[in-house]
Amino acid sequence: MRKRSFLFLSSVTFISFLVFVYFFKGGIILNTIGIHIDRPLEQVVHVPEAYSLVDSNDNSIADPIDIVNSARKEVENRTNYKSGYYDGGYPPDDEGVCTDVIWRGLKGAGIILKDVIDLDINKHTNLYSRVNGKPDPNIDFRRVPNQDVYLNRFAQSLTTELISGNIENLEQWQPGDIVVFLEKGFHHTGIVSDKRAEDGTPYFIHNIRPFAAEVKLSSFKTPIAGHYRWKY
């Protein structure tokens, strides 16, 4: 009798755990480990591709997709989340934080984010509050608030509202777009993927402990502070 009770409780616990993992924050746990499962009864929403076809490096791949492909290498390599200060600014290839996904992604389209941010900070230091009046090229370009200021000045600003299932809204979220969160205690950023869930919600390539992952953007309940598109 005790054995049956133990087996029953174990089964219930295991099933409850699976249900929790499946539904928690839109399946973010499964997404993080690379398992993407759409809801079986969810209506498929087809969102038109409306990204730029500019191919600045002449590799027969549009720049926004170059950005996504480069950012996705972080996921494929399981880049470890590690925050540090590095001479020259750049961390080792096998480690980084959320902002490293951005410059590594943009590099795929030939955009060197460090150079342009450092230049703008030197010219307009007062606009970058996170610099505290003392520019430091070893770290400035890897801070979320600094990237946000630069993108707000030079990139195209787009809607910060994300509505799953709404084609008109979702069409504004395209591959290669950059998303920024700036809530107190949670500064985060990442790149919109070319992959979508069945409800049309885009996936989001980012790096947060323990490593880089590709998750549904809607799994973040924190308000989106910035949504930007590079001016190709």
b/e code 170-189 from CB counts within 10 Å (16+ = b): bebbbbbbbbbbbeeeebbb
Residues 6+ apart with CB under 8 A from 123: none
Q: What is the pLDDT of residues 74-87, one digit of tens each?
A: 999 999 999 999 99
Q: Residue 21: which pLDDT band, with cuts at 50, 70 and 90?
A: very low
- The pair of structure tokens assigned to 217 is 């953007």
Based on the number of CB atoms within 10 Å of its own CB, is 191 exposed (0-12), middle (13-18) or buried (19 or more)? Answer: buried
| Per-residue model confidence (pLDDT) at position 34 | 57
Q: Is the pLDDT of residue 165 over 60?
A: yes
Tell me how far apart the alpha carbons of residues 232 and 156 are, in angstroms, rounded to a whole number.
10
Q: Is the pLDDT of residue 1 over 70?
A: no
CA distances from 208 to 9, 100, 102, 127, 205 (A): 34, 11, 13, 27, 10
Task: Please tell me the pTM assigned to this model.
Answer: 0.84
Percent of the chain topping pLDDT 70: 82
Q: What is the pLDDT of residues 80-118, one digit of tens each?
A: 999 999 999 999 999 999 999 999 999 999 999 999 999
Q: Residue 8: which pLDDT band, with cuts at 50, 70 and 90?
A: low
Q: Is the pLDDT of residue 10 over 90?
A: no
Q: Is the pLDDT of residue 28 over 80?
A: no
The mean pLDDT of 22-45, rounded to a whole number, is: 61
Pairing relationship of beta strands 178-183 and 156-157 according to DSSP bridges: unpaired
